[in-house]
């Protein structure tokens, strides 16, 4: 494990150290209340100076008809304390309810999700004894925009949004975090061989930021082979920075192959606020039985203690926890007859950690968090705005007949100033000159550009075009503007174009 930070820094005022720090706590659903009680009991015994405000979130709030799963008063508490220790909640199945986690992360601008996944071999079973990966997941963008539409009988759509500032602040955070915690390499995973604009932007920003950190190694992998390599040889990775969806999936993979998803904590960091939690859910089947492993939430809480400047307590409780694992005191999820000594429940596990306060592990590396350091602050690089020119429009229509008749209708209505460049179906060009084998559904993207390709297209021409298509009986779904930015196309070409 390399969570070891440099030796404690001096200069912290004793009076500041002793002040209780206000935090907001939510006990959540399922196993949440049990693992939160266990976590807080260790923190308290370890000397954490916390002034706790408790808020209600999750099932009970959803049942009161609040679709976000969080009371308005809870937001006031979060804005006041700026620190949230949150147990997992149960998201009701079915329409109408929003994921509380996504809502909190996005509302409060918690852009970076830090998920350390070290192995604890030989004390917790893993195939990857040397693994010590930190996943830094983008938390606000990508497919988690949740902008979805059904557009035709056959086709549903979700929007994947990636922004330059969103990518830059996350990637800078990953490099700053790597530097602060003595890491040597930052790896980026994207699928920019396919999503050349969205994932391409993330990769480009990664390269730009990496150039400013010559002391750190940097590399990029296409996510499919990168994920395979991570699952097979996680020892080859150090810090991995990823867009939201890949990060969501691969942080669970990383935590599970390190030992168990029940062992991973996570920090959700924003410019002003931060939220700390386990990466697992509310495991309702295990609720109320004093069985669950509190370690994921506990390790989230350790990150919280470092964040609020109580590194002394973080060091003490984390080392006691490591010693407990080492002593073979294990909850059912990591219990293994060969290496464990005692199978314990949630409460007994917490008591075992408390009994070891003041001790350090003997074989696993002990942690030593540095003293109070200001949270990492990210400055974005100012960038001049590009010259943006509209050069055409993609019109999406709902059509159940053959493509040749669609093409003829569109050509007949393209007008004097626009021409039909192509029609594609699910991204594959099918007109003009499509392949007869291409399977088509009822969702067609029809690209129009100026007769003099690349020159400006006035908005009035586009509105006239859409009116003509509507009058010709073509069911309009939506349109997407085609723009150039400083002369570079801001749109993908259709496959086969
Ligand atoms: P889950 O992570 O809750 O549980 C999956 C399985 O993992 C459990 O059945 C259990 O066997 C094991 N497990 C998880 N945490 C454990 C622990 N601390 N100790 C021991 N074993 C543990 O995933 P799920 O069953 O897919 O989701 C249950 C609910 O949790 C859903 O409503 C889901 O939406 C929600 N959820 C919430 C969060 C969150 O609040 N951050 C995250 C993920 C899922």
Task: State in Å: Cα 241 to ligand 1 middle.
Answer: 24
Pairing of strands 476-485, 443-450: unpaired
pLDDT of residue 66: 87
Beta bridge partners of 241: 136, 188
Q: Whose CA is nearest to atom 36 of ligand 1?
A: 281
Quote the CA–CA distance of 199 and 181 in Å, as a whole number: 27
Domain boundary among 338, 355, 372: 355
**228 contacts: CB under 8 Å, gap ≥ 6:** none
Quote the CA–CA distance of 58 and 30 in Å, as a whole number: 10
Beta bridge partners of 342: 329
Burial tier of 410 (Cβ tally within 10 Å: 0-12, 13-18, 19+):
buried
Provide the pLDDT confidence category of residue 472 given band limits of 50, 70 and 90. very high
Q: Could you tell me if residue 188 is inside a domain? A: yes
Evaluate if residue 52 carries a pLDDT over 60.
yes
Q: What is the mean pLDDT of the chain?
A: 92
DSSP string, 75-99: HHHHHHH-EEEE---PPPSSTTPPP
Evaluate if residue 145 carries a pLDDT over 70.
yes
What is the CATH classification number for the domain harbouring 101? 3.40.718.10
Domain boundary among 355, 374, 401: 355
Q: Which of 115, 135, 265 is nearest to 188 (CA)?
A: 135
Task: State in Å: Cα 146 to ligand 1 middle.
Answer: 22
Q: Could you tell me if residue 412 is inside a domain? A: yes
Q: Whose CA is nearest to atom 44 of ligand 1?
A: 281
pLDDT of residue 494: 65
For residues 280 and 142, membership in a common domain is answered with yes
DSSP string, 117-182: EE--TTTS--S-TT-EEEEEEE-S-BGGG--EEE-SSS-EEE--B--HHHHHHHHHHHHHHHHHTT
Q: Whose CA is nearest to atom 1 of ligand 1?
A: 281
Evaluate if residue 314 carries a pLDDT over 90.
yes
Task: State in Å: Cα 284 to ligand 1 middle.
Answer: 7
Domain boundary among 331, 355, 379: 355
Pairing of strands 342-343, 329-330: parallel
For residues 189 and 307, membership in a common domain is answered with yes
Average pLDDT of span 388-414: 96
Domain count, the chain: 2
Q: Whose CA is nearest to atom 11 of ligand 1?
A: 283
pLDDT of residue 485: 97
Mean pLDDT lowest among 96-105, 350-359, 395-404: 96-105
% of the chain exceeding 90 in pLDDT: 85
Query: Which has more confidence, 381 or 99?
Result: 381
% of the chain exceeding 70 in pLDDT: 95
For residues 256 and 392, membership in a common domain is answered with no
Domain containing 457 equals 388-489
For residues 421 and 348, membership in a common domain is answered with no
pLDDT of residue 495: 60
For residues 282 and 341, membership in a common domain is answered with yes
Per-residue pLDDT of 232-259, as tens digits, reads 999 999 999 999 999 999 999 999 999 9
Average pLDDT of span 334-353: 96
Q: Could you tell me if residue 160 is inside a domain? A: yes
Evaluate if residue 17 carries a pLDDT over 90.
no
Quote the CA–CA distance of 71 and 63 in Å, as a whole number: 12
**408 contacts: CB under 8 Å, gap ≥ 6:** none
Q: Could you tell me if residue 372 is inside a domain? A: no
For residues 132 and 251, membership in a common domain is answered with yes
Average pLDDT of span 67-93: 91
Q: How far lies 252's CA from each of 123, 277, 281, 425, in Å?
A: 20, 14, 11, 35
Q: Could you tell me if residue 249 is inside a domain? A: yes
Q: Whose CA is nearest to atom 30 of ligand 1?
A: 281
Pocket lined around ligand 1, Cβ cut-off 6 Å:
31, 35, 88-91, 101, 261-262, 277, 280-286, 292-293, 296, 333
For residues 333 and 392, membership in a common domain is answered with no
Evaluate if residue 275 carries a pLDDT over 50.
yes
Average pLDDT of span 110-135: 95
Provide the pLDDT confidence category of residue 146 given band limits of 50, 70 and 90. confident
Evaluate if residue 357 carries a pLDDT over 80.
yes
Mean pLDDT lowest among 142-146, 341-345, 480-484, 491-495: 491-495
pLDDT of residue 219: 98
**Strand residue runs (E) in 101-160:** 112-118, 132-138, 148-150, 156-158
Mean pLDDT lowest among 6-20, 241-255, 429-443, 460-474: 6-20
Q: Could you tell me if residue 455 is inside a domain? A: yes
For residues 405 and 337, membership in a common domain is answered with no
For residues 310 and 400, membership in a common domain is answered with no
pLDDT of residue 13: 44
DSSP assignment letter at 243:
-
Q: Could you tell me if residue 58 is inside a domain? A: yes
Evaluate if residue 463 carries a pLDDT over 90.
yes
Q: Whose CA is nearest to atom 10 of ligand 1?
A: 283
Evaluate if residue 98 carries a pLDDT over 90.
no
For residues 214 and 322, membership in a common domain is answered with yes
Evaluate if residue 497 carries a pLDDT over 60.
no
Provide the pLDDT confidence category of residue 11 given band limits of 50, 70 and 90. very low
Evaluate if residue 375 carries a pLDDT over 90.
no
Average pLDDT of span 284-300: 96
Quote the CA–CA distance of 443 and 424 in Å, as a whole number: 9
Provide the pLDDT confidence category of residue 496 given band limits of 50, 70 and 90. low
309: left (phi over 0), alpha (psi -120 to 50) or beta: left
Task: State in Å: Cα 289 to ligand 1 middle.
Answer: 15
**5 contacts: CB under 8 Å, gap ≥ 6:** 180, 181, 182, 306, 311, 367, 368, 369, 370
For residues 86 and 184, membership in a common domain is answered with yes
Provide the pLDDT confidence category of residue 15 given band limits of 50, 70 and 90. very low
pLDDT of residue 27: 96
For residues 279 and 130, membership in a common domain is answered with yes
Evaluate if residue 63 carries a pLDDT over 90.
no
Q: Which of 313, 380, 348, 333 is nearest to 120 (CA)?
A: 333
Q: CA quadruple 127, 188, 142, 86: dihedral positive or negative? A: positive
What is the CATH classification number for the domain harbouring 457? 3.30.70.1570
pLDDT of residue 295: 97
Q: Could you tell me if residue 400 is inside a domain? A: yes
Query: Which has more confidence, 185 or 102?
Result: 185
């Amino acid at each position: 494990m390399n969570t070891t930070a440099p030796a404690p820094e001096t200069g912290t005022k004793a009076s500041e150290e002793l002040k209780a720090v206000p935090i907001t706590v939510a006990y959540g659903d399922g196993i949440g209340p049990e693992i939160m009680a266990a976590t807080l009991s260790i923190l308290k015994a370890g000397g954490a100076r916390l002034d706790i405000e408790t808020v209600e979130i999750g099932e009970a709030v959803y049942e009161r008809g609040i679709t976000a799963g969080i009371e308005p008063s809870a937001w006031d508490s979060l804005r006041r304390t700026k620190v949230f220790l949150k147990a997992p909640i149960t998201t009701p199945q079915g329409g109408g309810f929003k994921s509380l986690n996504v809502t909190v992360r996005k509302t409060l601008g918690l852009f970076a999700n830090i998920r350390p996944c070290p192995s604890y071999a030989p004390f917790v079973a893993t195939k990857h004894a040397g693994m010590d990966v930190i996943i830094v997941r983008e938390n606000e963008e990508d497919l988690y925009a949740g902008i979805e539409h059904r557009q035709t009988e056959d086709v549903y759509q979700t929007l994947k949004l990636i922004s330059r500032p969103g990518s830059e602040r996350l990637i800078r955070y990953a490099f700053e975090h790597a530097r602060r915690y003595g890491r040597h390499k930052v790896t980026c995973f994207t699928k920019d061989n396919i999503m050349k604009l969205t994932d391409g932007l993330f990769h480009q920003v990664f390269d730009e930021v990496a150039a400013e950190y010559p002391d750190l190694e940097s590399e990029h992998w296409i996510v499919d082979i990168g994920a395979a390599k991570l699952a097979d040889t996680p020892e080859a990775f150090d810090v991995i920075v990823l867009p939201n969806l890949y990060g969501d999936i691969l942080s669970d993979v990383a935590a599970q192959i390190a030992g168990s998803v029940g062992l991973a904590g996570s920090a959700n960091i924003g410019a002003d606020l931060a939220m700390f939690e386990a990466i697992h859910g509310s495991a309702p089947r295990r609720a109320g039985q004093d069985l669950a492993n509190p370690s994921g939430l506990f390790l989230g809480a350790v990150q919280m203690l470092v964040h609020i400047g109580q590194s002394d307590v973080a060091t003490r409780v984390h080392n006691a926890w490591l010693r407990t694992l080492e002593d073979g005191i294990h909850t059912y999820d990591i219990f293994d007859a060969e290496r464990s000594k005692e199978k314990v429940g949630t409460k007994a596990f917490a008591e075992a950690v408390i009994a070891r306060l003041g001790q350090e592990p003997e074989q696993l590396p002990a942690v030593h968090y540095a003293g109070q350091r200001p949270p990492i602050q990210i400055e974005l690089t100012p960038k001049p705005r590009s010259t943006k020119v509209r050069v055409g429009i993609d019109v999406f229509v709902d059509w159940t007949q053959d493509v040749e008749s669609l093409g003829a209708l569109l050509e007949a209505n393209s007008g004097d100033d626009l021409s039909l460049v192509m029609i594609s179906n699910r991204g594959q060009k099918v007109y003009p000159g499509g392949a007869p084998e291409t399977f088509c559904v009822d969702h067609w993207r029809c690209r129009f550009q100026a007769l003099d390709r690349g020159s400006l297209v006035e908005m009035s021409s586009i509105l006239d075009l859409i009116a003509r298509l509507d009058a010709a009986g073509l069911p309009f779904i939506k349109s997407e503007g085609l723009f150039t930015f400083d002369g570079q196309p801001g749109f993908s070409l259709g496959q086969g174009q």
